[in-house]
Amino acid sequence: MDIVANTLLAAGASPAMIHSLAEIPDFTPQAQALCVNVGTLSPSWVPAMKSAAELMVKLGKPWVLDPVAAGASGFRLNACLALVGVKPTVIRGNGSEIIALSSVSCSIKGVDSAHGSMDALEAAKSLARASGSIVAVSGAVDVVTDGNRVVAAHNGVPMMQKITATGCAVTALIAAFVALDPSHPLEATASALSVFCIAGELGMDLAKGPASLRMHLIDSLYGLDEAALLSRVRITDL
């Protein structure tokens, strides 16, 4: 939650981390977007997640699902599939998580992926068509699809994989971007992925290892300007 909140603050968003079912009716209507992250899943949290997502759908506001380690346990997979049924605007995961949700056999090791983003491309397209969601697959190349169109974001540095919860942070950033442009969720998702990874590239120029990259990534995101963004962004159609 720490890096997620700090990423959002650095980008100019205003996060609120809510878990209690009792608070959903008060907090959710005030939000411009919702990010549901199942990373530290427990049975008591699932009803709150589903309730918040259902309320966002009712309000006509976007919500984004991060199905962390979706295939690691039956409980986790069933919870994620139930949330997919609530029609997320965007689903963002690694290759193995997206394959698990698309019901294709896969192996997964905790939150780490045994599959690259390109390995999961067909699964992502299938999941997008079945769910009606934009599906983003993180990897060496980030892939985003609506089931037909596919775009790729080519920014980032390998050491970002050595920092826990960078995937969680970029999912939350996607929610912030989609909140600003809800009528173009594919473009907003690809833009968020690229912006976050460009911040990683800039941070890597100053970092000595994963711990300092974490700090410099957030600083770089905070200080990112249009010139730096336009000089580095690499988004292509596939």
Rg for the chain (alpha carbons), in Å?
A: 16
User: Which pLDDT score, from 0 to 100, does residue 103 have?
Assistant: 72
Does the pLDDT at position 113 exceed 50? Answer: no
Mean local confidence (pLDDT), 175-189: 98
Question: Which residues have CB under 8 Å from 45's CB, separation 6+?
Answer: 19
Per-residue pLDDT of 6-33, as tens digits, reads 999 999 999 999 999 999 999 999 999 9
pLDDT band at 117 (very low <50, low <70, confident <90, very high): low
Distance of alpha carbon 90 from alpha carbon 224, whole angstroms: 24
pLDDT tens sequence across 42-99:
999 999 999 999 999 999 999 999 999 999 999 999 999 999 999 999 999 999 999 9
> Which two tokens mark 236?
């292509």
Query: Domain map of the chain by residue range?
Result: 2-237
Pick the CATH number of 2-237 from 3.40.1190.20, 3.30.1650.10, 3.40.50.2300, 3.30.160.100: 3.40.1190.20
pTM summary value: 0.93
Residue 8 or 109, more confident: 8
Residues of the chain with pLDDT > 90, as a percent, come to 92
pLDDT of residue 109: 46
DSSP 133: S
* pLDDT of 70: 94
